Amino acid sequence: MANIKSQIKRNRTNELARERNKAVRSEVKTRVKHAELAIAEGAENAEELTKVAVRAIDKATSKGVFHKNAAARRKSRLTRTRAESVAS
């Protein structure tokens, strides 16, 4: 445990941020998983679920949970999967 007052406060702040980031990451994983499952099954709402997942990734990026390039990679992979399923 830190002895310095500012570091004690910083530890509290970091813990709050960690919990918030964890929730956001979990939400993104859930949305992406639902979209990928719908794509694999060929569901009618796959496009809508993909849009929801991309929106969740964008929100996480704006909150600083993901780096912008990591978000771009995730969105690219998701939309590529969607495009491949439509093409086949």
DSSP 5-59: HHHHHHHHHHHHHHHHHHHHHHHHHHHHHHHHHHHHHT-TTHHHHHHHHHHHHHH
Reading the chain (88 residues) residue by residue, the pLDDT tens digits are 788 999 999 999 999 999 999 999 999 999 999 999 999 998 899 999 999 999 999 999 999 999 999 999 999 999 999 888 887 7
**What's the CATH number where 23 sits?**
1.20.58.110
The pTM of the full predicted model, rounded to 2 decimals, is 0.88
Domain membership of residue 77 as a residue range: 5-87
| Residue in the block written with tokens 């406060």 | 9
Q: DSSP 3-state assignment of 63?
A: coil
| Residue in the block written with tokens 């771009």 | 72
Number of domains in the chain: 1
Amino acid at 18: R
